């Protein structure tokens, strides 16, 4: 990670993430909502179909060790799943959002032809994960939006180079397979098939499993889950 390029840490706030996504895509079909309980029944309270889940959790040695079965990228998976290597310090929030958008957007119904996101997808189609990360770290508009939304929210903004103990990862479905995408790692982590054609329920199972690992180490754990949803046009 290039520590000379920094980003204000994103607050775990669905309104901030939804606005960030809308600015990147120029599309109003994106909605975000907090997930208050890691169970399948929580899906009924979402504003639309969940297409990605963002999990924010505290980084500690155990979490880092168990957050991936292997840090060796699988070339076959990298052909199917768009992955971005995090190059900017404290940019795990924006990178989690980019992981979601890059793997969900397939046409102009979710990102207009004039949007920044459309251009990024077109320009980065053949990039490696490292090249995508470098591109984002140097892109003026992306960095401007990161500054705007990193300094938004209810919490007092932190300095871009602050040592933040909380970390965002993204859960997505690609070809009925569930992946966890963490920009600190070398590639996507395959978690297993999506069970019962329910991305949300399968993701909640894996999120709860991961949080239980954290709770085994600490009596209480600060975490938050946010659903990225799509509503009909």
Catalytic residues: 92, 167
CB atoms near residue 8 (< 10 Å): 24
Contact 165, 158 (CB under 8 A): no
**Is residue 122 classed exposed, middle or buried when 0-12, 13-18 and 19+ CB atoms within 10 A define those classes?**
exposed
CB within 8 Å of 164: residues ≥ 6 apart = 9, 90, 158
Contact 160, 6 (CB under 8 A): yes
The length of the chain in residues reads 233
Give bridge partners of residue 173 from the DSSP assignment.
178
CB atoms near residue 18 (< 10 Å): 20
Joined together, the tokens standing for residue 81 give 């799943």
Residue 174 falls in which region: left (phi positive, over 0), alpha (psi -120 to 50) or beta? beta
**Sole residue written with tokens 């909502």:** 33
Q: Half-sphere exposure of 45 toward its Cβ, with a 13 Å CA cutoff? A: 12
Rounded distance, CA 17 to CA 171, Å?
15
């Amino acid at each position: 990670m290039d520590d000379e390029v920094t980003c204000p840490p994103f607050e775990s706030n669905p309104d901030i993430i939804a606005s960030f996504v809308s600015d990147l895509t120029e599309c109003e079909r994106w909605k975000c909502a907090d997930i208050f309980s890691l169970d399948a029944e929580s899906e009924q309270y979402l504003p639309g179909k969940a297409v990605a889940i963002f999990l924010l959790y505290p980084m500690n040695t155990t979490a880092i060790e168990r957050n991936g079965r292997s840090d060796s990228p699988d070339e076959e998976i990298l052909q199917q799943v768009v992955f971005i290597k995090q190059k900017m310090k404290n940019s795990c929030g924006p990178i989690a959002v980019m992981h979601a958008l890059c793997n969900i957007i397939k046409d102009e119904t979710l990102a207009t032809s004039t949007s920044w996101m459309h251009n990024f997808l077109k320009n980065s189609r053949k990039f490696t994960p490292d090249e995508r990360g470098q591109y984002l770290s140097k892109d003026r508009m992306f960095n401007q939006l990161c500054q705007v939304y990193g300094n938004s929210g209810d919490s007092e903004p932190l300095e871009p180079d602050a040592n933040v103990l909380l970390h965002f990862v993204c859960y997505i479905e690609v070809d009925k397979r569930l992946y966890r995408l963490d920009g600190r790692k070398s590639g996507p982590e395959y978690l297993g098939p999506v069970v019962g054609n329910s991305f949300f329920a399968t993701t909640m199972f894996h999120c709860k499993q991961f949080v239980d690992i954290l709770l085994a180490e600490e009596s209480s754990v600060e975490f938050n889950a946010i659903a990225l949803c799509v509503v009909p046009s």
